[in-house]
Every structure is written in C-alpha cells, then in structure tokens.
Structure 1
Amino acid sequence: MSASQNSDTVTSPLILAVPPGESYYSYVSQQLEKIPGANVRLLRIKSMYDDPSDEELGDLSQVEVYFGSVMFFSKIVHRCVNLRWAQSMAAGSDALWKVLKNKQLKPWFTFTRNAVSFPQPVAEYVIGQIIAVRRGFYVLRDQQIQAVWNKTDTLICNQPLVGTVVSILGLGAIGTEVARLCKVFGMEVWGVTRTLVPQDKKKTFVDHYRLMKDIDEVLENADFIVGVLPSTDETRGILSDRRFSVCRKKPAFVNVGRSDVTDEDSILEALRKGWISWAVLDVFDEEPLPASSPLWHEPHIVVTPHMSPAITYRDHPVKMCDLFKDNYKRYINHEPLLHVVDPQKGY
C-alpha cells in the first residue's frame, strides 16, 4: 500500500528536506527543485548530530514528507504529527524505532530506507580490512613507526585470500555485495540469513547458507567474521556472552552493521583470551566513541569513525536523490514505495 493513500493532499505535500551536512545541501536543493509542483522546505545543518533551535525548525505539524538524515529525524519525529512518509538517507533505522519506543509512540507513517548508496562502499571497506589484516599491514605500520625491520613476525600473514573462509552475518543488500566481492578474491563464503533462502534465490557466490540458529557452526569455521546485521530483538547481543569462544581458527571480526550485536566487554575478552585475533570496528554504541573507551588503545583493535558507507562518494547524493524522486513519484501516484521498512522487524 502506498503511504499517501490516506492523505488528503497528494498533489503538493509539504516536504521537509534535511541533507546531512553542507556537502549535500547544494546538490539536494538543485534536485528537489526539479520535481514538478513540489513544495519543499530545506533545513540547513552542519551535521546529522546538530540540534537546531525551535526557531530554525519552525512549524513541523504540516510536514507530510520527510527526506534526510534518520538520526536528525529521530530528534524531531514526535513533532511531525501529520507526517505520511519519511525517506531516510541512511540504510539503518534502529535509532528511530528506539526513540518512538521510548516515547511510547507507534509509527503513524511509512518509512523507507536508502538501500542503493551503501553496498559498494561498505563492501570495499570490508575487503580492504580483510586484506590489511590478512597481509599484516597494521603490524607492518607499527614496525615502521618503531623503525623495526622484521619479516618473521607471526602476525604478518602472507597467505593468499583464495580459500579464506569469510562468514557474513546478514545477507541484505550490503552483505550480498560483500559476499560477491569476497568471491571475486576466491574466498569461501558463508552467509547467515534470518529465514531460509529458496533455491532459485540463492547466489552463486555464496557457498554455504545458514540460519541464525546455526551461528556457532558459522563462527567455528570462519577466518573472518563480517557483521552486517541490523539492530533487532533477534540480533542484539548475538555475539555477546562468550559467543566468540566457539571460534576455532582465531578469526578477525569486522563489524559494519550495528554495534549492539555485541559489546565492548565481549570483544575485549575475546581478544585477550585469543578467541579472535583482530576486531575491526566501524560502529559503536556511543558515537563519536568517547576518548575514555578502552577500545582506542587495545592491541589488535582497529577503530574507524563510522566511515565504511563512504558518504563522500561522488555518486552517493546522486543515488540518494534518484531514489527519493522515484519514490516521490510513486507516493503521489498512490503506488507502492521502494524499500519500505517493517517497524516490527526493524528492516
């Protein structure tokens, strides 16, 4: 069902557009101006973490369509009482559902996510980190800083990627692209899904499909564990509480999904007890990651500032705006929207 079918005004709904930073503002503004008859209010913010004043926000009660940062949207959603549809510029939406739950509100609007911009850059990030760990680049960097010439360090691995077992937790759009690129390098790919994948829907580049209930088997066989899971009741804490202890091959853990699939203590314990060899983390419970976090200084942890989506890619705003324009046309024509999120599932 289209999000606009219950709307009284479908010809020129008020659109609140909030590009997530100055670098997007000009392009998004230009693209929205090209939509015939669109009634657009643009809000300029420096980053998605901004907290504009009431004066800057203005009256949000007449906003029917939202297009922008989901983190920013989560701060104002309770004021958008007549909202019918929200198009996020992000892939995830757990921040929104948490806010609504805390405010004891049920979604009164259709929410669609950005499923087009992130698969390529996130998959490239994962491949880069796998190569960096597998070939010992981080160890070599540390040696350079110390002016040490050492070709025999056991942590420097010169094994090829061919035959390396990568277990991908979550085979959505991003996880599927990660799997495809891993197979290009000759890796053995395991993929974990929530439900059974029909035979005719299985990808040729995924060697083994498993369900969430099989996660111990998946971890046991992995050289690399890649987390691409959303934050849901089923996934939260799935890698906590000594879960990594089942790992036989001391795999590296690369997390680009949601941070709450595990926790700081579980990661630190897994590293210190040798259950995993590395943790490459791009997502955290609190962002920016506080300087007091032990993750910053723990050996064999790589911290990156939630940059795997590489939103500075030149084609990111292009794909983002193309998706919005496509969905907006569907919206005003009472057609099904693309990439609708089920609030109950969280994806």
Structure 2
Amino acid sequence: MKTVFTFRPPRTLQEEMKSKYPEADFLFYKSAEEAERLHEAEVIVTFGDDLTPEHIGSCPHLKWIMVASAGIDHLPLQAIADRNILVTNARGIHKVPMAEFTMGFMLNHVKRFPELRKLQKEETWNKQLPLGELAGKQLLVLGTGAIGSEIARLAQAFQMKTMGLNRSGHPAEHFAEVHPTAELAEVLPEADFVVAILPSTNETKGLLKEHHFQAMKETAAFINIGRGDIVEEQVLLDALHNECFAHAYLDVFIEEPLPAGHPFWKHPRVTVTPHISSITKRYLPRAFAILDHNLKQYIQGKSDFQNKIDLTKGY
C-alpha cells in the first residue's frame, strides 16, 4: 500500500508510522511536484493546497486523501468526487491554539496592550487610558464547530455571554444561544465581538455584506480566523472608513501572503497577523493521531473514519 506524503514531517513521526505499519510503503516528499512516485499512491497525505485535478487523474490507484489540516477549499473537489475518493481532514486539532489566539485578540482589545507598549517607549506615565473588561461582553461566533465551541468555553471563563451562529441554529456546546445563518443581521447589533471561524464554501463566500457591518456596534471588534473570503476586502475597508465598528483583527486573507502595500498593513484600525493562529509545536502530532486512527480503519477494511468529508458540502 503506497502512502505518499507531499510534505516531510519530522523524522520521529516518519519512523513511528513505519514501525506501526510495516505493511505500508511510506514515501515522503517535500511537495506534490517533487513526488516522482505520486502516481503509485493508494493514499496521499497532504496539507491540501498542492494537489491539482491533473495529480488526481495521474493516480489510478488512489483511494484516500488525508488532509493534515482543517481547510480543504484548495483541493480539486470535483475531480476527487468524480472518482469517489475518500477524504478526511484534521478538523479539531486547531481548537486549542486558535481559541487561545482569539482570546488574545479580545484581551488585547479591551486592555489596549499596544497603546500601553507605545506609552512605555515614550516613557509616558498615563493612568487615564481607559481600559475595559471582557466580563459581561457579548460574544458572537460565526461557526459553532470544535474551534468555535472552544472559544465559547474560554469566553465563559471570562464571564462573557456566548452566542453562536450555524446553518440551522442547532444547539452547540458552551453557547448560551445559537441562531441560524438567516438571523445574522438580527443578532449582530448585540455583539461586542464578532468572531468568524467559518470554512470557505459556496454558502460562506462573501457572507458578510455592507449592511451586516452597518448593523454592528460602533465599539465592536471583528475577528477573522476562518477564511478571508467571508467578506470582500473593499466592503471591509469601507466599513472601517465609515466607522461601523471599532477594529478588525485579521489572521486570514483572500490573497496570502498579504501583498506589500495592501491597505490592511498600515490601517490604524486593523491588526494583521500572517495566518498563524493555528500554529503550534503540537500541530503535527495531533494531526498524526487522526491519521493513525484512520489508517488502522483503512487497513482493517473498516469505515469508522474520523473527520470524513462530505464532498457535496465541502466540509
């Protein structure tokens, strides 16, 4: 069973997989382009951003793609669906670092750490800088999956009110209330923090429109750690210009890396981070735990796969 990796994990993880599964032939490459034996693969392990329809077409034995990240929006989904190839991902491994990152943004917003640092550089003792609290603030999370629920759990520890949004409005853990997507415009005026953690799908691309930002509190903060295409950049820039809300904390963008000279870089009410909210030294070990489980299922001919993707929905 040829299992081709289009990235090279640490040698310790490579050796661990080889010792656990001697019946599998593991091949490790730096990228799909450098994988000269990709066409032999029965299983491909990828980060999901390097496979093309041509790659899929050149792999006659391919049965399963394991994506070692949560996002699958860069996969050639139609080519994969046409072949009825199993796709699984590493959904859930990001919840701890991304929830912590989000709490950092929110604390940064109410405690004004950048301004305090600036005052230190200026050697200015200013006790009049007004600081706020998270306690009692209303949090609205767009997306109530593993990451969204972990954000809500941490927010509750800070005595915040938690409100979620998903397709149907079905209840989710750690949210006091959950609303369907159709009610987005109605609940936005209540939020002090709006956190977007939605995947990129046909339903979520451009979801946030001008009237949504106009509905927000002028003091609210918008945090996007999901996908950049949830809002058109000009819509967001116009909302900032019109002071519809106070600040945008952006970790994801339509084009990455964010081009030099882009208005976001120097905007006074935008904080830019380089799609780093999920990064942690524990990332790959967590992803490999899911791969390990699914590989056992695959070899044993079972079907209890973790994080099986519905290709018709894109998640």
TM surpasses 0.5 = yes
* Residue equivalent to 1:28: 13
Q: Which runs of 5+ in 2 are unaligned?
A: none
Equivalent position SS for 1:72: coil
Cα deviation for residue 92 of structure 1 reads: 1.1
- How far did residue 300 of structure 1 move? 1.4
Aligned partner of residue 40 in structure 2, secondary structure: coil
Aligned residues: 312
CA-CA distance at 1:106 after TM superposition: 3.5
SS in 1 for 2:188: helix
Q: TM-score, normalised by structure 1?
A: 0.84
**Aligned partner of 1:293 among 248, 255, 262:** 262
27, 39, 43: which one pairs with 1:41? 27
Out of 264-273 and 228-237, give the one that drifted further.
Answer: 264-273
Per-residue deviation at 1:287? 1.0
1:18 correspondence with 2:6: yes
Contact 1:119-1:173 at 8 Å conserved across structures? yes
Q: Percent identity?
A: 31
Paired with 1:87 and 1:133, the residues of 2 have a C-alpha distance of 37
Is the counterpart of residue 139 in structure 1 residue 115 in structure 2?
yes
Q: 281, 290, 294: which one pairs with 1:327?
A: 294
- 1:57-72 superposed matches below 5 A: 57-72=35-50
Give the structure, 1 or 2, with the largest relative contact order (CA under 8 Å, sep 6 or more).
1
Matched, 1:195 2:195: no
Q: How many Å separate the matches in 1 of 2:262 and 2:100?
A: 27
CA RMSD in angstroms comes to 2.1
Q: Which residue of 1 aligns with 2:187?
A: 218
Contact 1:107 1:343 in 2 (8 A): no
TM-superposed CA distance for 1:147, in Å, is 4.6
Query: In the superposition, relative to structure 1, how do residues 253 and 74 fare at CA in structure 2: closer, same or farther (>3 Å)?
Result: farther
Q: TM-score, normalised by structure 2?
A: 0.92
Of the three residues 100, 103, 106, the one matched with 1:124 is: 100
Show CA shifts across 1:283-332 (max 9, x none): 1111111112110010111111111002x32x322221121111011012
Q: Which residue of the partner structure matches residue 152 of structure 1?
A: 128
- Report what 2:137 is aligned to: 164
Q: Which amino acid aligns with 1:175?
A: G
Structure 1: which 5+ runs fail to align?
1-12
Q: Corresponding residue for 1:250?
A: 219
Cα 1:150–1:255 shift into 2, 3 Å: same
Choose the corresponding residue for 1:90, options 69, 79, 82. Answer: 69
Q: Answer whether contact 1:169 1:191 (CA < 8 A) is retained.
A: yes
Structure 2 SS opposite 1:66? strand
Partners of 1:228 and 1:255 within 8 A in 2:
yes
Which residue of the other structure, out of 318, 338, 344, is the alignment partner of 2:306?
338
Letter aligned with residue 29 of structure 1: Q
1:177 matches 2:147? no
